[in-house]
Amino acid sequence: MHTDLSIGAMILGASGFVQAIMLVLVLASVFSWAVIVKRYRDYQSLETDNQFFEKRFWSGVELEQLFRTLEKDLPIPGSIEGVFQNGYRQFRHLYDQPELTVEAALESAERGMRAAYNRQLDVIGSNLTVLATIGSTSPYVGLLGTVWGIMSAFQGLAGAQQATLAMVAPGIAEALVATAMGLLAAIPAVVAYNRFSQWVEQFASSYDAFIDDFMALLLRQGSSLRADMAAAADSAVE
């Protein structure tokens, strides 16, 4: 007797429990691919936006002018621009409060940037745990379907007077499809998670370096601003 061992036939011929396992794995695979595509596009856009901002930042433009230009629009979630805006907004208290020391203004600016830095990394790293979960659990979910299918195949031989490989092979083949589907769901998720994690680490390193460079600029600007304020006060007294 000819047995149809095509993929479609094996899926349709599997038991209800194994089919449910397969459906879960298909949904997990679809969801992981949706996350992969979205995260890839987001990271590409974020990288382009960061490069554009850093080019403007290091072009020699006045920080106050750059801040006033950028604050009109909300920065892209997770961007380095958000770190800049948050830090410089705190530093601007030095303009409004003459009694505030440069050190206090710089400390406030650094706290603001570090807080923005942590928020930006949370945004950038969102949904990566989903990929890690799918990548780590899908093979075991598929294996559960396989074990269940093999158990069902051997239980079907209990009443047979003569057991042959031809009798058990279709059931085992149907069960092994679940393992294959588990691997197909897990492999792209694991590869994408590792690549995106590296991408997030690169963002974190560049943001950390930007904060250090920005703090050095603010220190020079704050000292210069305080000197100008002192000179203006001396001129007013004279």
At 137 the pLDDT is: 94
Position with higher pLDDT, 194 vs 14: 194
pTM assigned to the model: 0.79
CB atoms within 10 A of CB 152: 17
Reading the block at residue 110, the tokens are: 């650094």
103-161 pLDDT, tens digit per residue, is: 787 888 888 888 888 988 888 988 899 999 999 999 999 998 888 877 777 776 666 55
- At residue 230, does pLDDT exceed 60? no
Torsion of CA 206, 211, 212, 218, to 10 degrees: 140
Q: Look at 237 and 174; give whichever has higher pLDDT.
A: 174
**Residue 169: pLDDT band by 50, 70, 90 thresholds?**
low
* Distance separating alpha carbons of residues 133 and 71, to the nearest angstrom: 38
pLDDT band for 162, please (50, 70, 90 cuts): low
pLDDT digits (tens, 9 = 90+) for 208-218: 999 999 888 88
Position 48 scores a pLDDT of 92
In angstroms, the CA 197 to CA 195 distance is: 5
CA distance 11 to 7: 6
What would the pLDDT profile of 28-60 be if each residue is shown by its tens digit? 999 999 999 999 999 999 999 999 999 998 888
Is-contact 33 41, C-beta < 8 A?
Answer: no
pLDDT at residue 200, rounded to an integer: 93
Q: Tell me, what's the pLDDT at 229?
A: 47
Q: Compute CA distances 184 → 22, 28, 147, 211, whole Å.
A: 11, 10, 18, 41
Mean pLDDT of the chain: 81
pLDDT at 5: 53
Confidence band of 98 (pLDDT split at 50, 70, 90): low
